Structure 1
Amino acid sequence: MSQSPSTWRADPLVWGHGATVFEAFLEPTCPFSVRAFGKLDELLRTAGEDRLTVKIRLQSQPWHLFSGVIVRCVLAASTLEGGKETARKVMAAVAAHREEFEFTDHCSGPNMDATPNEIIARLEGYSGVSLAKAFAIPGLQKTVKWHCKYARQNGIHVSPTFMVDGLIVPAISSGDSVQEWIGKIFA
């Protein structure tokens, strides 16, 4: 999927093909989103790809101070070879090294001196994905804005938030087991 700046395409972060649609609004550095992200593969395996469609929607949050950079990195990864699987690999790298991309108490710590270029390089190192060129695609903000607008249009302001078939389900929590999720999704 190597592309020139004029032919890029962000691969939708969608897995499965079932009639029931489960949308997870996640901020990649949020500890609760990380916990939810870690359950999505098991959810799809357990529920069945023919029964469930899982969609990741990125929910940038300003109190996670590198949120915008990280969200753009994930979406940039989706434009590369492997598309959504490459994006998932980048999200997994953030999840596995969350403290490397977050601020202590959202306002201090070693990342105070980190630049966006250093964060991108750090994420490239952890994920093994070359992100810098895709990060700089001029029109990529259109995809970033789509995720933001979609969340706002659905009344979603924090992560993680979950929707089933277009309706927010506040009873679903990142602390629930996959079996509890399945019970609430197919209730």
Structure 2
Amino acid sequence: MAGTPTSWHAAPLTWGHGPRLLEMFLEPTCPFSVKAFNKLGALLEQAGEDRITVKLRMQSQPWHLFSGVVVRCILAASTLPEGKDAARRAMQAVADHREEFEFAHHCEGPNRHATPDDIIGRLERYSGLTLKPAFAIPDLDREIKWHCKYSRQNGIHASPTFMIDGLVQPDMSSGDPVDAWVARLLPSRN
């Protein structure tokens, strides 16, 4: 395909550089994942970027009918020169305009008339990013498949799911206040 990059790199969706690792498995159009994603900045600020590392893992889910398109857009954004910051901007655009990327009750509403190109165009407008060339990278699938495989290997099937230092936290929720997350990640701090 003309204009498609032949060499690319997807930036890891990682923030912070501390020893405690929180992995957040998120589906970008899921309201609970949006709630968790929106706490990322406050979590890094309260816990300290030198004390924790947060890695976002894309958890595409088929009942969110544009999930595959949106996840591909976010991972495509990570291949842009701004890397993880472009991906975060794309995720924030979806979070801020979630209804523009989701079906009502997972099956109806105005988005039934939307095409994948409509969804990509909306995300470009809301994020200010040019995504279509990166979306068209033929082997971008390898990055998408890596996220899927990693989730499955860790027994994760729904979003949001949280892992601390490689252990799934079944009682950790997007509804928890940020200070509760900090207490779980840094118990000796309290």
**Class of the TM-score when normalised by the shorter of the 2 chains:** over 0.9
For the 8 Å contact 2:4–2:134, the answer to whether it is kept is: no
Structure 1 portions without partners, runs of 5+: none
1:60 aligns with 2:60: yes
Structure 2 partner of 1:107: 107
Partner in structure 2 of residue 12 of structure 1:
12
In the alignment, structure 1 residue 121 sits paired with structure 2 residue 140: no
Residue of structure 1 in register with 2:169 after alignment: 169
Query: Percent identity among equivalent residues?
Result: 65
Using the TM superposition, give the Cα deviation of residue 182 of structure 1 relative to its aligned residue in structure 2, in angstroms.
1.0
Q: Are the equivalent residues in 2 in contact too, given 1:18–1:53 (CA < 8 A)?
A: yes
Q: TM-score, normalised by structure 2?
A: 0.95
Structure 2 Cα separation of the partners of residues 94 and 67 of structure 1: 11
TM-score where L is the length of structure 1: 0.97
Q: Where in structure 2 are the equivalents of 1:13-92 lying within 5 Å?
A: 13-92=13-92
CA contact (8 A) 2:93 2:127 kept: yes
What residue identity is the alignment partner of 1:117? D
SS at match of 2:54: strand
Q: Distance in 2 between matches of 1:90 and 1:58?
A: 13
Q: Distance in 2 between matches of 1:186 and 1:159?
A: 23
- What do residues 10-65 of structure 1 show as CA deviations (whole Å, max 9, x unaligned)? 00000111011000000000000000000011101111111100000000000000
Instruction: Give 1:4 shift.
Output: 6.0
Aligned residues: 185
Aligned to 2:95: 95
Q: Distance in 2 between matches of 1:141 and 1:160?
A: 22
Structure 2 letter corresponding to 1:30: C
Amino acid at match of 2:115: T
User: How far apart are residue 89 of structure 1 and its match?
Assistant: 0.2
Distance in 1 (CA, whole Å) between partners of 2:123 and 2:19 is 35
Q: Tell me the C-alpha RMSD between the 2 structures.
A: 1.0
Aligned structure 1 segments of 4 or more residues deviating by more than 3 angstroms:
none
Alignment partners' CA distance in 2, 1:16 and 1:102: 30
Give the distance between the partners of 2:19 and 2:181, measured in 1 at CA: 16
For the 8 Å contact 2:4–2:133, the answer to whether it is kept is no
Counterpart of 2:31, as a letter, is P
